[in-house]
Every structure is written in structure tokens, then in C-alpha cells.
Amino acid sequence: MSSTASPSPSSATAAPDAAAPDAPGTRGPGGPLLILAAATLWGTTGTVASFAPAGASPLAIGAGTMGIGGLLTLALAGRSALAVLRSGRRALGWALLGALGIVIYPLAFYTSMAWAGVAVGTVVSLGCAPVFAALLERILDGTRLTRRWAAAAGAAGGGCALLVAAGGTGGDDTARISAGVALGLLAGAAYAGYTYYAGCLIQRGHSSRAVMGALFGLGTLVLVPLFALTSGPLLDTGRGLLVVGYLALVPMCLAYLLFGAGLVRVRASAATVLTLFEPVVAAVLGVAVVGERLGLRGWSGVALVVAGLLVLTVRRR
């Protein structure tokens, strides 16, 4: 993809103060805080999902969360979402590719947490996302990543590696955990993909709400029917309804609106690094609420993730 053909997340013109060298990857004030707020809400997903009724499929939880939440996001966007899809073949192609990532991400992500544990599944999914995002921007846009971004990603990625090494499930089913880690990698690739293509559409001139509505609206065409086929145990109890309702309204709809607003102000690769705050929240809740255990390596990993976020977000004097 040529950056001269149409604006992309890495080639859009920034405001003078946003383009200063002390804030690589950002384009305006408030963007990092919006994305950190979204990441905090996302960090609650694994803990809440663990309260789903016995027999509830992680596929049903993922499809219900993104499917129902996607319908709400589409409703909030209204006709502006259709304007995104009608703005040309290139925009439609980006929207379809972004929607594909939206379909894959929740199915892989929730299954990864179910098989490998809340902390491990989350850190793998989000920890590898910056790598995939950087590859997309490098290959498709020719973006040169800054040393500061590399340092932040390295610290945060190292923290995620320590969290994974520390475990988090205590189970003996190595094959199941390994499969969960593999699905976490797939979720990370899907997440980086729809982040990138959402950024492409936003930088083309569409509002973040319109873009999120268009992408999630397309995703619901697959996710809602899948939820209808797999949702039995979730809809049979009040607890199941509460779990799906919370996941669809708070970490899906509200958090993605915050994320879309933040994506207007930061580059996709920087956004995916900022969302590494999610595994920090997930790890803390996994220990405090779910009962998972993190030793010295695990908490050292949490500290490294926080250090990476500080490197990326705190401006030098």
C-alpha cells in the first residue's frame, strides 16, 4: 500500500505540537490516556468471563461480546458507518480486512484465555500485537519506527515474556496450554490487523465512531449467527446474561469507542504498545479475583510492562 495514494496511520500529517520528537507515534493530546482507559476496561474481560456458567463455550462468549457490542457500536455510528463503506473500493477493502480481524480476534482470544489462563492468554494476545502492527506499518507503509518506540516495545514485550514464563494456570495439560498460546498469537495478529485498517480509514477523513461502526457492523454478520448457534448455556441463567451484558456494554462498546477516539491521535503501532496495559490489569485481577498465581517473575513482568508504557507516554523535558 502506498502512503501517497491515501493517508495511512503512519503517513498522516500531524499537528506541529504532536509531531515533536519527544512524543513519537502521537498526533495530539489525550490520545494515550484514552487508549489506556480502554485497555483498563479490556483487562477485566478474562476475570468476568471466568464467572460464566459451566459449559459455556469461549466461542459463545467471544461471539456474544463482539457481536452484541458490535451491534451497539453500529447503532451509535448510524448512517455514518454506511458512508465509510461507500467511500470507494479501497476503503471497502480496508473495512473488509478490518472486519475479518474483528471476527477472528474474540474467538481466538477468549479460547486462548480458557485454555492457557487469564493472565497468560491476555499477555500473549496483546504482547505480540505490537510486533504484528510494526510489521504491517513497515511492509505496507515503509514506516521507520523510532528508537524510543523500540525501547518501549522491548520493555513491555520482555515483561509479557516474563508473565508467560511465570504461568498463571497451574495446570498440567501442556498441549492445551500450548494451543492456548498459539491462539493468543493468532488473536494478536488479528488485533493488530483491524487496528491498522481502522487507522487507515480514520486518517482518510472518517470519524472514529463511523469507522468502528462500519468494521464492527460487518463483523456482526458472522459473530451474531455464531452466537445464536453456541449461546445455549449463557442464555439459560441470569449469571450468564450478566456476563454477556457486561462484556458487550463495557469492555466492548464503551472501550472501543474510547479506543477509536484515541486512535485518531496516535499511530497504530504506538496504540498497540499502549494497550499492553491490559495484561497488567488482567494479571492483577487474575491473582486477586480468579486465584491464579504469579511469582517474582510474573510481577517483574508487570513492572516491565508499566516501564514500557512510561517510556512511550511520558514526555521528555
The residue behind cell 477468549 is 110
Question: Domain residues for 109?
Answer: 31-313
Please give the pLDDT value at position 27: 54
Query: Would 23 be classed as within a structural domain?
Result: no
3-class DSSP state for residue 225?
A: helix
User: Average pLDDT in the 272-294 region?
Assistant: 78
pLDDT tens profile 56-78: 889 999 999 889 988 988 998 88
Using alpha carbons only, give the angle 164, 165, 166 rounded to the nearest 5 degrees: 90
Residues 235 and 229: beta-carbon distance below 8 Å: no
Ranges 87-96, 156-165, 242-251: which has the least confidence: 156-165
pLDDT of 109 above 80: yes
Count of domains observed in the chain: 1
**Between 19 and 170, residue with greater pLDDT:** 170
pLDDT tens profile 214-246: 999 999 999 999 999 988 878 888 888 899 899
Query: Would 119 be classed as within a structural domain?
Result: yes
Query: Would 18 be classed as within a structural domain?
Result: no
Query: Would 15 be classed as within a structural domain?
Result: no
**Between 44 and 268, residue with greater pLDDT:** 44
Distance CA 120, CA 69 (A): 25
**DSSP-assigned states of every residue in 68-106:** HHHHHHHHHHTHHHHHHHTS-HHHHHHHHHHHHHHHHHH
